[in-house]
Amino acid sequence: MSCLGRIVEDLCGGPRARPDAGGKAPRPRDPSDKWVPGNPGRLADQYSIKKELGEGSFGSVCLVTRKIDKLDMAMKKMDRVDKKTKKTADLEKLKNEVDIMRQMDHPNLIKMYDDMSDEVKIYLMMELCTGGELFDAIIEAQHFSEAQAASVMKQFLNGLNYMHAKSITHRDLKPENLLLKDNNSSVEKNVLKLIDFGLSCKFEKNVPLKTKAGTPYYVSPEVLKGSYDELADVWSAGVIMYVLLSGQPPFYGDNDNQVLDAVRKGTLEFQTQCAVWKEVSGDAVVLIKKMLMRNTKERCTAKDALENVWVRDNAPRAAKVNLSAGLVDNLRKFRSVNKLKKAAIHEIAKVLNEDKLKTLKEQFQAMDVNGDGMLSMQELTEGMKKGGLKQIPEDLQQILKDLDSDKSGQIDYTEFLSAALDKRHYGQRDVCWSAFCHFDKNGDGKLSRDELKLVLESAEAKVTSIKNNNKELDDLIKEVDKDGNGEIDFEEFMQMMSSD
């Protein structure tokens, strides 16, 4: 089972506005404090907290209003010390991210207005985006044209070109990091905002970057090799454009490892992949090919892409019609991550007979050197070495994070089992029935919409945008509910668990 996944939590930003005057005198600061806030005034003096918008492992997001001018913002609150693990936040990493945000001032990059801190938390005041993620907006609209795609890509590339001109590379471009400013405009009339600069860094010409960063579908081949430059961002943008026009990724597989293998090969196909490409103009295909050149010397830059006729003249040779319904269907399926299956496997790991788990239990105990019932990063690394794995994955930290479902910073026994189980364990009807009954709160033999919502909310709580909707839940039901009655019975549940 693949352990790769989402690389970082969403942390978005932009330039910081000049601190407002007023407020009470700041408290004396500890000279050893690594975080120097942009605004030392008290939070309550300058901002009114309206409501919670969501929470995740990084902290929480609130809607706040700046008192001096009544401007609404999204405020991210992050704990200096994690309440569960008691570990201190990586303030140097966060400070580096904020320093990068302060250097940027562009309409297609989300803004960071202010930053503050106290003894307990760090606060980042961000531009409020109510339009949600770009792909979700397309799915909700149920139609999308090539001209709209060109308009979106122009905004996207404008922001990216600005970053590259300032010698900053994003390093984690993906659809989740493309938000719309408001929810009152159509996609092409909206303002696109690029977010999440947690992996962004400065670069120098002819000095290759080495740190592997990114997300499987969108990462470039040269990043996987460990030597790359800012053109890795152009590759990611090309993948996003491909998905934008077809609803499917150009490099795919049944799990993250297969996806990464496909990226390494870099075999790009169009017509055989998806019928939607028959409706897309040749100009768009040519641009995607230029953005997805494996040889970086032949790959176009963000500036080159902006000057391409398809972007510059808004897809002039595209048919003046919406792309087929297949695009939206493909996009919906691609976006619908089956979290129910992940939650079910986790539940099955709790109830499986110990005899069936003997080998996995022995493996866990062998790695748990200090006997505390948890696997730390060091124990996981040493366990892999002793198990004969000669090359330890460079993204082991992320693997640990992905396995750590309760965000404790370590892997407990059940988390280890749920990651190590294969289909011969979780594909058995008796163990699946046990998990199904756990989810079926009213015992009627079906999983209702409300019951599924409870499963997903308990399985994962994180914020990717503040747009409050249930499309993901609807997509999941549509994917699994074969008879279309709006509920999932046990046979449909079993079919989901048995699929690859």
Return the DSSP state at 32: T
Q: What is the pLDDT of residues 162-192, one digit of tens each?
A: 999 999 999 999 988 999 998 877 888 899 9
- Answer yes or no: is pLDDT of 402 > 70: no
Residue 461: alpha-carbon gap to chain centroid:
13
Contacts of 40 (CB under 8 A, 6+ apart): 26, 27, 29, 116
The HSE-up count of residue 280 (CA atoms within 13 Å, CB side) is 27
Return the DSSP state at 17: P
Instruction: Identify the weakest region by mean pLDDT among 27-36, 297-306, 432-441, 466-475.
Output: 27-36
Let me know: does 133 contact 465? Beta carbons within 8 Å. Answer: yes
Paired residues of 73 in beta bridges: 64, 127
- CA-nearest of 432, 431, 438 to 355 is 431
Domains of the chain: 1-128 (3.30.200.20), 134-335 (1.10.510.10), 339-498 (1.10.238.10)
Paired residues of 123 in beta bridges: 77, 116
Angle at 423 between CA 422 and CA 426, to 5 degrees: 95
Catalytic residue among 10, 115, 136, 172: 172
Q: What is the pLDDT of residues 332-389, one digit of tens each?
A: 666 554 556 667 766 776 666 556 566 666 777 777 777 767 777 777 777 766 655 5
pLDDT for the residue numbered 339:
59
Active-site annotation holds for 172:
yes
Grouping H, G, I as helix, E, B as strand and the rest as coil, residue 323 is coil
Hey, which bits of 157-287 come out as E strands?
Answer: 168-169, 178-180, 192-194, 201-202
Q: What is the pLDDT of residues 242-286, one digit of tens each?
A: 999 988 889 887 667 788 888 998 888 886 556 778 889 999 999
Contacts of 437 (CB under 8 A, 6+ apart): 443
- Answer yes or no: is pLDDT of 396 > 50: yes
Paired residues of 305 in beta bridges: none
Location of structure tokens 């990464």: 260
Contacts of 19 (CB under 8 A, 6+ apart): 38, 39, 41, 114
